[in-house]
Amino acid sequence: MRYEIRVDGLMSETLAHAFPELDHVTMSGQTVLYGPVVDDAHLYGLLTRCQSLGLRVVELRQLPEPPPEPPRPPESG
Protein backbone atom coordinates (compact mmCIF):
# COMPACT_ATOMS: atom_id res chain seq x y z
CA MET A 1 0.00 0.00 0.00
CA ARG A 2 1.10 3.53 -0.69
CA TYR A 3 -0.06 6.50 1.37
CA GLU A 4 0.16 10.27 1.35
CA ILE A 5 0.23 12.18 4.63
CA ARG A 6 -0.26 15.93 4.28
CA VAL A 7 0.86 18.05 7.24
CA ASP A 8 0.45 21.75 7.90
CA GLY A 9 3.59 23.83 7.47
CA LEU A 10 6.93 23.36 5.81
CA MET A 11 9.09 20.66 7.39
CA SER A 12 12.82 21.21 7.66
CA GLU A 13 15.12 18.59 6.18
CA THR A 14 16.08 17.62 9.73
CA LEU A 15 12.45 16.98 10.65
CA ALA A 16 11.82 15.13 7.37
CA HIS A 17 14.63 12.73 8.35
CA ALA A 18 12.31 11.49 11.12
CA PHE A 19 10.47 9.71 8.28
CA PRO A 20 13.31 7.95 6.41
CA GLU A 21 10.94 5.47 4.74
CA LEU A 22 8.95 8.24 3.04
CA ASP A 23 9.69 10.82 0.38
CA HIS A 24 8.45 14.38 0.81
CA VAL A 25 7.62 17.51 -1.12
CA THR A 26 6.45 20.94 0.01
CA MET A 27 3.66 22.86 -1.66
CA SER A 28 1.23 25.62 -0.74
CA GLY A 29 2.50 25.93 2.82
CA GLN A 30 2.20 22.20 3.49
CA THR A 31 4.49 19.18 3.45
CA VAL A 32 3.39 15.97 1.76
CA LEU A 33 4.98 12.74 2.94
CA TYR A 34 4.39 9.80 0.62
CA GLY A 35 5.53 6.27 0.06
CA PRO A 36 4.97 2.61 0.88
CA VAL A 37 3.28 1.59 4.13
CA VAL A 38 3.58 -2.11 4.87
CA ASP A 39 0.58 -2.58 7.17
CA ASP A 40 -1.83 -0.88 9.58
CA ALA A 41 0.70 -0.95 12.42
CA HIS A 42 3.20 0.94 10.24
CA LEU A 43 0.53 3.52 9.33
CA TYR A 44 -0.44 4.06 12.97
CA GLY A 45 3.24 4.36 13.84
CA LEU A 46 3.69 7.11 11.25
CA LEU A 47 0.68 8.99 12.62
CA THR A 48 1.99 8.62 16.17
CA ARG A 49 5.36 9.96 15.00
CA CYS A 50 3.58 12.99 13.48
CA GLN A 51 1.74 13.59 16.75
CA SER A 52 4.86 13.26 18.90
CA LEU A 53 6.68 15.79 16.68
CA GLY A 54 3.81 18.27 16.96
CA LEU A 55 2.81 18.00 13.30
CA ARG A 56 -0.80 18.68 12.40
CA VAL A 57 -2.04 16.11 9.87
CA VAL A 58 -4.53 17.78 7.53
CA GLU A 59 -5.08 14.87 5.13
CA LEU A 60 -4.33 11.17 4.90
CA ARG A 61 -5.11 9.14 1.82
CA GLN A 62 -4.24 5.84 0.25
CA LEU A 63 -2.62 6.19 -3.15
CA PRO A 64 -3.33 3.88 -6.06
CA GLU A 65 -0.69 1.27 -6.71
CA PRO A 66 1.42 1.96 -9.80
CA PRO A 67 0.55 -0.31 -12.72
CA PRO A 68 2.80 -3.35 -13.06
CA GLU A 69 5.53 -3.15 -15.64
CA PRO A 70 4.77 -5.06 -18.83
CA PRO A 71 6.80 -8.25 -19.26
CA ARG A 72 9.98 -7.85 -21.24
CA PRO A 73 10.42 -9.91 -24.37
CA PRO A 74 13.08 -12.61 -24.11
CA GLU A 75 16.50 -11.53 -25.23
CA SER A 76 17.65 -13.19 -28.42
CA GLY A 77 21.28 -14.05 -28.62
pLDDT in tens, 20-65: 999 999 999 999 999 999 999 999 999 999 999 999 999 999 998 8
For residue 77, pLDDT beyond 70: no
Q: CB under 8 Å to 57, separation ≥6 — which residues?
A: 5, 6, 7, 47, 50
Length of the chain: 77
pLDDT at position 73: 82
**Residues facing residue 35 across a β-bridge:** 3
pLDDT at position 45: 97
- CATH architecture of the region 2-63: 2-Layer Sandwich (3.30)
Distances (CA, A) of 74 to 67, 68, 69, 70: 21, 18, 15, 12
For residue 67, pLDDT beyond 90: no
Amino acid at 18: A
